[in-house]
A and B are shown apart, each in its own frame.
Chain A
Amino acid sequence: MRSPCYRLGAAEAFGTPSAVLAAGYLGYGALAADAGLPLWLTLLSSLSLWALPGQLIMIEMSSAGAPLVAMVLAVSFSAARFMPMTVSLLPALRAPGSGRRREFFAAHLVSMTGWVAAMRRAPELPASDRLPYFFGFAATLWLCSVAATGIGHLAASSLPAATKSALVFMNPVYFLLILLDDARTRVMILSLIAGAIAIPLLHRVIPEWSVLIGGLAGGSLAFALHRLLSRHD
């Protein structure tokens, strides 16, 4: 047990990285409360999904009366990014002779913030300290986010109505800022625009399916356009 490296990871996660995530999860807790999800289940959703886009999709589709199959497909698409992220992260954390079992737990803790931090820090650390560092960092983010989820849920159900709508409003703003900040590649910009047009339009006609169908149609159109343009580059 090399506790210093768990602690190093935890110390680096505490502060700005966890505060930023907490702001997102605070809003998520309030949104789930507004949708009528009980506190314990809301906490469980942050513990088990640990992916804010998927959680937002789940709550919003549930409120729109979407069938379970549409919801699971949409959540799966939003979570598929974890596969390539995990695939590229594990070799960077792996020490010779360490077992696979811990990696299955490490994989659950993978999020964009933890992935970026570990990919940057791991090469600087001795091989045996890399996985402990990641556990310290990612588990801190995870638990702070679960705590923020609970606070958001409790605040939404106990504070005045003005605060509740302001808390729920943090969700779209959080994603709007993240997406605009991240939109650097052409393929991503095309996808964002296509989805931003397709889903609100479809919502008027088929609210239960708009996220899945609009996402598939918009994303595929953006992908096709990107391939077409790449051929002419």
Chain B
Amino acid sequence: MTEVLMVAICGAATYLWRGLGVIVSGQIRTDSAIFTWVGCVAWAMIAGLTMRILLLPSGVLAETTLLERGIGVAIPLLVFFVLSRRNLFLGVGSAFVTMTLLTLLNGA
């Protein structure tokens, strides 16, 4: 499968829902059970994928240890929920800084 095709089809699959929203706007109720179910599946997918990347990483993250990733998550959680007022930029930024320092310490 070529990567161009992958991006094109995934882009179309995403726009489909946005375009459909324009077409059916004003004609459907959006609080029905089917939307709740689709939302459940979407949340489960992204939460599961996030956990999988943290626990069973592939690519460049596979070279990090579970302990490093654990510290790399604990510091941003502390920064986000305790030290800042749920500042996502600072939280994600602290993940970058923590992980860079851990990798440097390990290599030294």
A122 contacts chain B at the CB level, 8 A cutoff: no
| CB < 8 Å A-B pair total | 305
Chain B residues near A161 (CB, 8 Å)? 60, 63, 103
Q: What 0/1 readout, one digit per residue, does chain B (57-87) give for beta carbons within 8 Å of chain A?
A: 0111101100001001100110011000010
Whole-angstrom CA separation of A170 from B86 in the bound complex: 16
> Total interface residues on B, using CB and 8 Å?
76
Q: Which residues of B contact A199 (CB under 8 A)?
A: 44-45, 47-49, 51-52
From B10, B17, B28, give the contact of A80 (CB < 8 A).
B17
Q: B3 contacts A37, CB within 8 Å?
A: yes
Query: Which residues of B are found within 8 Å of A54, using beta-carbon distances?
Result: 10, 14
Across the interface, do A177 and B88 meet the contact criterion of CB distance under 8 Å? yes
State the A residues within 8 Å of B (CB).
16, 19-20, 23-24, 27, 31, 34-35, 37-38, 41, 44-45, 48-51, 53-54, 56-58, 60, 62-64, 68, 71-72, 74-91, 100, 103-104, 107-108, 110, 161-181, 187-188, 190-200, 203-204, 210-212, 214-216, 218-220, 222-223, 226-227
Interface residues of B (CB under 8 A from A): 1, 3-11, 13-22, 24-26, 28, 30, 33, 35-56, 58-61, 63-64, 69, 72-73, 76-77, 80-81, 86, 88-89, 91-93, 95-100, 103-104, 107
